[in-house]
Amino acid sequence: MLITPNTRQALVSPVRRSHKKPEKRWSQSSRCWSATRSNRKSVKMFVLIYLVIAIVSLLAYVLHRNFTYWTRRGVPHDAPHLIYGNMVGFRKDRVMHNIFIDYYNKYRKTGNPFVGFYFLHKPAAFIVDPKLAKNILIKDFSNFTDRGQFHNERDDPLTQHLFNLDGKKWKDMRQRLSPTFTSGKMKFMFPTVIKVSEEFVKVMTSQVPASQGGAVLEIKDLMARFTTDVIGNCAFGIECSTLSNPVSDFRTMGQKVFTELRHGRLLTMFQFSFPKLARRLRMRMMPEDVHQFFMRLVNDTIALREKENFKRSDFMNLLIELKQKGKVTLENGDVIEGMNIGELAAQVFVFYVAGFETSSSTMSYCLYELAQNQDIQDRLRSEVQSVLEQHEGKLTYEAIKDMRYLDQVISETLRLYTLVPHLERKALDDYTVPGHPNLVIQSGTQILIPACAYHRDEDLYPDPMTFDPERFSAEKVAARDSVEWLPFGDGPRNCIGMRFGQMQVRIGLAQLINKFRFSLCDETEIPLKYTPMSIVLGTIGGIHLRVERV
């Protein structure tokens, strides 16, 4: 068949015509699909808008309900800030201590045993009357065993330490650890602390010339290096050598716990305000590098000791023994589960963090006051040297116990410079305030006891801003209610590491006062300025003093 141009056109044309109809149908289908997709987007947008409205409404309801809590109960309180509650300036431009002291002074003479307070978004009963505080901490402790702090053992294992745990977990952990902080165990660790203190004196001596006038030193850094080495040795069995090498991961990570946040300010406030919800959302609080550092350190230390069957006179060794024991049945029939790696790491972690920061700060503030009160410093030095002579010049465990005036000086330092500003508890059941039948602290209510405010109450401590160790003579301590001095808390949930903390501070100060004299210099800042970024009482910048050899 001969294919002419016309024939070719005829053959091709039907094919072209056959493609036109599907294209038209496809175009119509595309428009329908586009319209459907547009409708779906609109629906999604409406759903999203309604969801946002629902969430905002829920948040508004929760905020309104929280911030009217004390109004509904007729309890006096200050009007809360929308974000900060009654903690305006928190971690911004106000130190927590000043927030609590100002609030306490406003209400302490109103006759109310407690007033309302909003710790960020969390309603709390602010205990104004120390007698009520004593009931909560001691007499009626069974109803206030919990603290209600954030902890997440699953996702943030370092937060499951004794300070944070509640309920049976706290009770079991306290029973496990109590035997490790007896006087006998302190003697066990005493030689390690003495060894570090002797190195401390050598470092100080190398920085202070024998000539008259000595040297101006920043003592805050030196005290922190001393306590870091003590805790590193006693908690991990590691010679950190921070005294000779100031820059160390140990010290850096310890400082980050108090000054750095894993999340921004808003999320951190959410964790403080709603700890249970934060745990359900699997939130974490510990900075990641801090978490990695301590978990790796604990795992490596345990693996090495168990492999080589290595034992040492330190806290880590005591915890490893607890881990290896597994389940323990108590005399009353209660069964305590064995300690896992995460729990062990958390206890070592809090022992280190609490021990190095609080003890170094106590020593720094103590020397700062002694520099301003030379008569007190001279009396203390006389006692230290006299006791050492009675013990053949050796700083023994018994010698430290005999230094009574040293204890008074440390106690007065802890009163005037209360490192942790408040104690927290949580009501397990409704609690009728003794002597006030119409006042009920409801179940689940957070309790806030402003220890720092009690310590500066002129009715409890006349002329409270004056440094006076005589406040803690045996006679005055016996006449004072124990709840009026709370640097370590009180009752069954007091600080379990109190003996160890006091031991290392006593040793460090005794060594320093015996060898050196501290006085003011041009660089000494009076008064001190405190950082609002730290929960514990910390200064902005260092503390400079003139140091001379005795």
Which residue ranges are tagged as binding site for heme?
495
Backbone dihedral region for residue 328 (phi beyond 0: left; psi -120 to 50: alpha; all else: beta): beta
Neighbours of 499 (CB within 10 A): 15
DSSP 151: -
User: What is each CA distance from 77 to 1, 232, 457, 458, in whole angstroms?
Assistant: 106, 44, 20, 23
Q: Cα(70)–Cα(73) distance, rounded to whole angstroms?
A: 5
Residues, the chain: 550
Sheet of strand 544-549: strand arrangement = 215-218, 544-549, 516-519
- Strands 215-218 and 516-519, by their bridges, are unpaired
User: Among residues 134, 153, 131, 125, which one has the least CA distance to residue 424?
Assistant: 125
Binding residues: 495
Sheet of strand 423-426: strand arrangement = 114-119, 122-127, 446-449, 423-426
Cross-strand bridge partners of residue 114: 127
Q: Which residues 6+ apart lie within 8 Å of 445 measured at CB?
A: 123, 124, 125, 426, 427
Contact 510, 403 (CB under 8 A): yes
Pull the structure tokens for residue 116.
């309302």
Q: Cα(304)–Cα(298) distance, rounded to whole angstroms?
A: 10
Cross-strand bridge partners of residue 448: 126, 424
The beta strand positions in 104-236, using DSSP E, are 114-119, 122-127, 215-218
Q: Cα(239)–Cα(136) distance, rounded to whole angstroms?
A: 41
